[in-house]
Amino acid sequence: METASMSLLHALKEVLSEQQVTENQTVRELHGRDESYHKESLPDLVVFPETAQQVSEIVKLANKYEVPIVPFGLGSSLEGHVIPYEHGITIDFSLMNKILEVRESDFLVRVQPGVTRTQLNKELKKYGLFFSVDPGADATLGGMAATNASGTTSVKYGVMRDQVRDLEVVLADGSIIHTGNLAAKSSSGYHLNGLFVGSEGTLGCFTELTLNVYGIPEHVMAARASFPSLNDAVEAVVSILQAGVPIARVELVDEPSMKQVNLFSETSYKERPTLFLEFHGNEAGLKQDVEFTREIVEDHHCLDIEFETDNAARNRLWEARHNLAYAFIHGHPGKKMMVTDVCLPISELSGAISHAREAVDLLGLPGGIVGHVGDGNYHTLLMIDMSNQDEIEKAEKFNEQIVLYALERGGTCTGEHGVGVGKQKYQQKEHGQALHVMENIKLALDPDNLFNPNKILKTKDRG
């Protein structure tokens, strides 16, 4: 698109200001990768719209010039979602970063897609509220909705999809729709909220989100419990869930990962398979939940359980957990991270994690296992030398082994990171004939394959 690109550029500059459109090499490079091991590819142009109307104009021009569009938040995706392998226009939403409305008494906020979760939480704190979804990275809310992100708190508060009451979306023809409303529930029409959340920019561009928020809990208690084996730790979680303890967070960190945590966060936590736990509730109820949990973990050979009652220690604990991926990256300079992301029914979790641990040990690559085990979701973090083809192949084969194990037991290839390009090869196996329904929906909503082509689904070439 050599000459076409010139007239597209010209046309874009008619609907956007000079500074909102760029061909700058450095900017393009920043939009040619994400945080994963997937290979780079640059967009032809990067645009920075400020309004839904501008997004609509960009989409119409992309349509006219037959150029694909990739929406971009902060690039913290882990499966190559935002990498424009077909080039074209990347829409960067960083200028659409306003918190538009806090409906305090409705427990709702209306935000632009470029707002990050920590930015939102900082504002919400003034109202005694918080936004629950916490994937670790300080991602944008638009990006989190696009991948149906979740994380440490979803065992209690649900995933991103559960928080979305309404999206403003620019469709392939440039029209602007709302997918929901402000009511807590609705049985009106097809559930477009659910369809667009997790669509990874393949069906439209989000220009506004209305999200559920929660009151900051009256009392919070955090704990660390260490175990002689990974299996004991996982079985303890299963028992806590089965006992009906309304736990707010329960994270597993294995021994190699605890070592990385200590190295990076300058903590001196015991280097054993560890559960990080959190409880939210009223004082009396919490006390009873905590006591019950202590009994359960002791039944599972817990070596020691320590409670963090004050705010600072609690924050330190969760920061250590959150920094884990960075700790691995920091500890292995020059290498890239590959993360598995399967999720299984809880009864299959213990077997799955044992299987993964054995496979990592056989692999001979540095790696740890961590997980949002309350949901049945765990990650294997593998550090790979991207110049070593053998390592890459071993890691990919390992990922496949982990995925197939999960799929054979009713699980999914991705619990929270999404499909992007990395999990595309498992879609047929996971969804069977249902993949054809997804393809039909994509074709119905984006007939010219304008939006993030070849993500989630392998779509036909633009020719």
Residue type, 296: I
Binding of its own copies at residue 225 (CB under 8 A)? no
Instruction: Find the binder of its own copies among 16, 74, 145, 159 (CB under 8 A).
Output: 159
Phi, psi (degrees; rounded to nearest 5) at 302: -55, 130
For the CA atoms of 399, 381, 92, 193, the dihedral, rounded to the nearest 10 degrees, stands at 70
Residues 362-381 that bind its own copies (CB under 8 A): 375-377
In angstroms, the Cα distances linking 318 to 17, 275, 277, 283 are 42, 11, 9, 21
- Among the candidate windows 85-93, 269-277, 296-304, 344-352, which touches its own copies by CB under 8 A? 344-352
Nearer to its own copies, 120 or 403 (CB): 403
Residue 1 or 243 having the CB closest to its own copies: 243
Cα dihedral value 241, 245, 249, 254, nearest 10: -50
Beta partners for 368? 381
Binding residues among 134-153 for its own copies as defined by CB under 8 A: 147-150
Q: Is 100 an interacting residue with respect to its own copies (CB under 8 A)?
A: no
Give the chain's length.
463
Inter-residue contact 306 to 224 (CB < 8 Å): yes
Q: Which of 14, 25, 284, 461 binds its own copies (CB under 8 A)?
A: 284
Binding mask 59-98 for its own copies (x = CB under 8 A): ----------------------------------------
Q: Does 411 bind its own copies (CB under 8 A)?
A: yes
* Tokens, residue 382: 């593998």
The CA distance from 259 to 270, in Å, is 9
Smallest separation (angstroms) from its own copies to the CB of 421? 14
Distance of alpha carbon 93 from alpha carbon 146, whole angstroms: 13
How many residues line the site for its own copies (CB under 8 A)? 97
Determine which helix (DSSP H) or strand (DSSP E) holds 225, and give its type and residue range.
strand 219-226
Of 225-233, 267-275, 312-320, 443-451, which part binds its own copies (CB under 8 A)? 443-451
Instruction: By CB under 8 A, tell whether 220 contacts its own copies.
Output: no
Of 15, 95, 392, 435, the one binding its own copies by CB under 8 A: 435
Contact window for its own copies (CB under 8 A) among 25-33, 188-196, 254-262, 328-336: 188-196
In angstroms, the CA 407 to CA 413 distance is 7
Given candidates 4, 6, 184, 362, which one binds its own copies under the rule CB under 8 A? 184
**Nearer residue to its own copies within complex by CB, 49 or 374:** 374
- In the complex with its own copies, the residue whose CB is nearer, 244 or 463, is 244
Does position 333 bind its own copies by CB under 8 A? Answer: no
Greatest Cα pair distance in the chain? 71
Structure-token pair, residue 93: 């939403």
